[in-house]
Structure 1
Amino acid sequence: MTLHQRQTATAGAAVPAVARPDTPAHIIASDAEAIAVAERLAADFVKGASERDRERIWPVKELDAFSQSGLWSINVPKAFGGPEVSYATLSRVIEIISAADSSIGQIAQNHLGVVAAIRTVSDEAQQKLLFGEVLKGVRFGNAFSEFGSKRAADFETTFTDHGDHVVVNGRKFYSSGALLAHLVPIVALDQEGRAWYAIAERDAPGLTVIDDWTSFGQRTTLSGTVILENVKVPKTHLVPGYKGYEVPTADGAIFQIIQVAVDAGIAKAAIDETIDFVRTKSRAWVDSGQEHAWQDPYTIQAVGDLTLRLHAAQAILEKAGLAIDRAVADPNADTVAEAQIVTAQAKVLSTEVAIAATNKLFELSGTRSTLSEHNLDRHWRNARTHTLHDPVRWKYAILGNYFLNGEKPPLHAWS
């Protein structure tokens, strides 16, 4: 059985590592090219998205095309040979890919976040080494969160110092992208309780990734349990991630804006599906007096409302990307807080429109839209799953405290 045929029936097993690419990845030349490449890939990714969700087929060739396209290095700084596109462009890229297949969009999120963190906290030698890998097409997975910890930011995974390398022990879950990664950044604590990214080879002895992701949504994000038993990581690959939150930096907002873009993509997909279904398959309601479902005034109003809300989310998402650009260029308490606040606003709007659009899809399309042959419930399942990443109710609190009391948001990866 090849990797792309691996399905739920084979879940629960340890998964072997994949080889690194044998040809260098493309380097994106401009923001405009990044958008054009994303649109080209999305047109291909959408064709098998429903089947991949239904059968839990891993997007192997799609992921290879994605990372080799150059889109996985778009936030590598120009000083190291990267495109360094605007974060408004980066978020647009993730939105476009996620509208085609939100699982594929999510796979890239932690990779891009780690690239940003390396820019913030690594010294020049480490940046040159790790950015060089990214530019070749090497994919970072992630081994950040833990299943049984008291809070999301609590970690029990630790490392010990052994001279030129460290040894990592622990257990992780919610490890999007780890199954088919080439390198796995592991959040691990030192003896002082500080969190580092220990970036291990995917096939490092003692590193095991288990295919046990059973969520009803985002089913092919290549996530699962990561077991770490005396995993050696050279200090060249030990990134002091904690430094990104000791002082104001854009790192948290960057992790967040990618989450926002995934949800905006899901909303866009659901609205597009609604329009297509209503115009081609739905029947007019008996009391409407209309010949076609797309003439129903209540349906017209609802689609207008959803589209308006999506466009508002997209506008704030773009504004957030530009605010992040300013915070990256000049990180201080004010620019970072602005980036966090605008990103939080985008997070609220994208979450709410994603949930609303995936619900309205069925209300407006009618009973036949629930037939399993259409698999339209994948959009609701994906929206409901991905928007749980961090609770929007806390975004409202952050926004209220900022605007009412002048209190800046906390500095961490969820803010």
Structure 2
Amino acid sequence: MTDTAAPTAPVYLEPATATDSELDERFAPVFRRIAEGNLERERKREFAHDQVSWLKAAGLGRIRIPVADGGLGASLEQTFALLAALAEADANVAHVWRNHLAFVEDRLNAPRSAANDRWISRFLAGEFVGGGWTEANNGTLAAMATTIRPDGNGHRVTGAKFYATGSLFADWLDVIGRTDDGTLLTALVRRDHPGVELVDDWTGFGQQTTASGTANYTDVPAEDGDVFPVTERFAYQGHFYQVAILAVLTGIVRATLRDGVTALRSRGRNYPQGLDPVPASDPQLLQVIGGVSAYGFGAESALRQTARELDRLAAAHAADDSVERARLIRTAQVATDQAQLVIIDAALNATTEVFDALGASGVSTSALLDRHWRNARTLASHNPRVYKARILGDWVVNGADPVPDLFAAGRGGQGN
């Protein structure tokens, strides 16, 4: 990945002005409403259309847009903290917002123009972006089968994508493809065009209501101003997508702690080997819950530190400081990789170990505590954690560049 996303004119990004208390007052009541129906939606595999609408109405889709342009003026640190809080209420609903928030960030990083003003207006009106870049059958970015061909004043999109997260909730779909000369483009197309077919065929055992199935495109138009070279997408796009997942994982750890505490308090009897007849007073069981709380602390700390690095990178981009931007792309990559190791370990450990405090009653299907592990394991599979410690070690010891070249021949970068 190279730093080719320098602005050529003033961009929309501005220093954050929102306060944590303002954002909490706005969103906490909505998150509580969303949490109330989480178990039933999980049990029945119901898509959260109403819940996504509530969040649109509350302004989550415009959270990063500066106040002067009609948004809420939040920082990335605040945005990802809120996404973690939403994931504590419902990890599926939180993940649905990943593609939308990323595309809003992309347009905020873009030079001001009439076309981009239209996008800002669409976001302010509550229009929602879904989509996915990944192709089935081991397709890679270097061998993209989807085509985006010029057609008059616009383009036409034909192809198929998998992992199309959030598509069933969307007004627009963000699609990546190639021109006939091999240039990679992303196109935003209208979800309701007759050439778009969305198939609910996601078979993963976790994140089951994120609308992450197949999206088929047949000669779908993309208008002028809605097609962008991939090399012009915002400089920290890869970091953003990864940290969004880490925010959801952090929320899962918090939900695990919440449900673990509730389940332990409700236990009526203990094993003969226990240290107290009351499970909630047993020091060893309390130790388990204490450990889960520490996993949550580690995950939240890592998430906030990484988000701060991205805020610094966004500020350098807005200031058109190419030297600082290039430096911060690497420090943000290191922070993102480190956070990935910390947060994934925290999520997988917390969602497994919590059952040690609960006994056989903890695995009841009425409680659905297994959803936390299933969701965490599914999200943890989106990016190659297995390689990150090696990459970090090579950076620390040898100074090897930690930023991957996603467009190298034969490489993927699609998260599958």
Measure how far apart 1:193 and its partner are. Answer: 2.8
Q: What is aligned with 1:255?
A: 241
Q: Secondary structure at the match of 1:235?
A: coil
Please tell me the residue identity of whatever aligns with 1:135: L
Instruction: Specify every segment of 5 or more residues in structure 2 that has no aligned partner in the other structure, as ranges.
Output: 1-16, 318-324, 407-412
Q: Secondary structure at the match of 1:232?
A: strand
CA distance in 2, matches of 1:257, 1:374: 29
Measure how far apart 1:414 and its partner are. Answer: 7.3
Say if 1:327 and 1:43 are closer, same or farther in 2 by CA, change over 3 A: same
Q: What is aligned with 2:72?
A: 83
Q: Secondary structure at the match of 1:270?
A: helix
User: Structure 1 stretch 402-411 or stretch 139-148: which is displaced more?
Assistant: 402-411
- The superposition leaves residues 380-411 of structure 1 with CA deviations (integer Å, 9 ceiling, x where unpaired) of 11111111111212221232222222223225
Q: What is aligned with 1:328?
A: 314
Q: 1:174 aligns with which of 163, 167, 175?
A: 163
Q: What is aligned with 1:299?
A: 285
**Correspondence 1:73 to 2:59:** no
Q: What is aligned with 1:341?
A: 334
Q: Secondary structure at the match of 1:62?
A: helix
Measure how far apart 1:99 and its partner are. Answer: 0.6
Q: What is aligned with 1:156?
A: 145
Measure how far apart 1:125 and its partner are. Answer: 2.5
CA distance in 2, matches of 1:268, 1:414: 28
Say if 1:122 and 1:282 are closer, same or farther in 2 by CA, change over 3 A: farther
Q: Secondary structure at the match of 1:236?
A: coil
Please tell me the residue identity of whatever aligns with 2:242: Q
Measure how far apart 1:197 and its partner are. Answer: 2.0
- The TM-score normalised by the length of structure 2 is 0.87
For the 8 Å contact 2:256–2:351, the answer to whether it is kept is yes
Please tell me the residue identity of whatever aligns with 2:133: F
How large is the RMSD of aligned CA atoms in angstroms?
A: 2.1
Q: 1:113 aligns with which of 86, 102, 108?
A: 102
- The superposition leaves residues 249-286 of structure 1 with CA deviations (integer Å, 9 ceiling, x where unpaired) of 22221111111100000111111111111111263221
Measure how far apart 1:320 and its partner are. Answer: 1.1
Please tell me the residue identity of whatever aligns with 2:210: T
CA distance in 1, matches of 2:77, 2:142: 27
Q: What is aligned with 2:409?
A: none
Q: What is aligned with 1:286?
A: 272
Say if 1:146 and 1:300 are closer, same or farther in 2 by CA, change over 3 A: same
Q: Secondary structure at the match of 2:239?
A: helix
Aligned positions of 1:319-398 closer than 5 A: 319-331=305-317, 332-398=325-391
CA distance in 2, matches of 1:144, 1:383: 22
Say if 1:150 and 1:226 are closer, same or farther in 2 by CA, change over 3 A: closer
**Correspondence 1:133 to 2:148:** no
Say if 1:336 and 1:185 are closer, same or farther in 2 by CA, change over 3 A: same
For the 8 Å contact 2:298–2:346, the answer to whether it is kept is no
CA distance in 2, matches of 1:141, 1:385: 19
For the 8 Å contact 1:194–1:242, the answer to whether it is kept is no
- The superposition leaves residues 308-336 of structure 1 with CA deviations (integer Å, 9 ceiling, x where unpaired) of 22212211211111111110111422111
Measure how far apart 1:121 and its partner are. Answer: 4.4
For the 8 Å contact 1:149–1:155, the answer to whether it is kept is no
CA distance in 2, matches of 1:72, 1:291: 50
Say if 1:29 and 1:288 are closer, same or farther in 2 by CA, change over 3 A: closer
For the 8 Å contact 2:116–2:225, the answer to whether it is kept is no
Say if 1:353 and 1:268 are closer, same or farther in 2 by CA, change over 3 A: same
Aligned residues: 385
User: Structure 1 stretch 145-154 or stretch 134-143: which is displaced more?
Assistant: 145-154
- The superposition leaves residues 88-111 of structure 1 with CA deviations (integer Å, 9 ceiling, x where unpaired) of 101101100001100000000111
Q: Secondary structure at the match of 2:189?
A: strand
Q: What is aligned with 1:273?
A: 259
CA distance in 1, matches of 2:112, 2:158: 25
Measure how far apart 1:150 and its partner are. Answer: 4.1
User: Structure 1 stretch 85-94 or stretch 203-212: which is displaced more?
Assistant: 203-212
For the 8 Å contact 1:97–1:105, the answer to whether it is kept is yes
Say if 1:239 and 1:33 are closer, same or farther in 2 by CA, change over 3 A: farther
User: Structure 1 stretch 56-65 or stretch 276-285: which is displaced more?
Assistant: 276-285
Please tell me the residue identity of whatever aligns with 2:355: F
Q: Secondary structure at the match of 2:130?
A: coil
CA distance in 2, matches of 1:282, 1:263: 31
For the 8 Å contact 1:149–1:156, the answer to whether it is kept is no
- The TM-score normalised by the length of structure 1 is 0.87
Measure how far apart 1:236 and its partner are. Answer: 1.6
CA distance in 1, matches of 2:183, 2:259: 46
Measure how far apart 1:365 and its partner are. Answer: 0.8
CA distance in 2, matches of 1:380, 1:127: 40
For the 8 Å contact 1:122–1:240, the answer to whether it is kept is no
User: Structure 1 stretch 121-130 or stretch 156-165: which is displaced more?
Assistant: 121-130
Q: What is aligned with 1:7?
A: none
Please tell me the residue identity of whatever aligns with 1:72: G
Say if 1:255 and 1:414 are closer, same or farther in 2 by CA, change over 3 A: farther
CA distance in 1, matches of 2:355, 2:218: 47
Please tell me the residue identity of whatever aligns with 1:287: Q
Say if 1:234 and 1:100 are closer, same or farther in 2 by CA, change over 3 A: same
CA distance in 2, matches of 1:397, 1:133: 42
**Correspondence 1:145 to 2:134:** yes
Say if 1:234 and 1:137 are closer, same or farther in 2 by CA, change over 3 A: same
CA distance in 1, matches of 2:22, 2:136: 39
Q: Secondary structure at the match of 2:343?
A: helix
For the 8 Å contact 1:140–1:183, the answer to whether it is kept is yes
For the 8 Å contact 2:18–2:73, the answer to whether it is kept is no
Please tell me the residue identity of whatever aligns with 1:267: V
CA distance in 1, matches of 2:119, 2:341: 33
Identical amino acids, percent of aligned pairs: 28
- The superposition leaves residues 116-161 of structure 1 with CA deviations (integer Å, 9 ceiling, x where unpaired) of 1223346522321111101111000113111213447752111111
CA distance in 1, matches of 2:414, 2:167: 20
Please tell me the residue identity of whatever aligns with 1:297: P
Q: What is aligned with 2:204?
A: 215
Q: Secondary structure at the match of 2:159?
A: strand
Say if 1:409 and 1:303 are closer, same or farther in 2 by CA, change over 3 A: same
Q: Secondary structure at the match of 2:71?
A: coil
Instruction: Specify every segment of 5 or more residues in structure 1 that has no aligned partner in the other structure, as ranges.
Output: 1-27
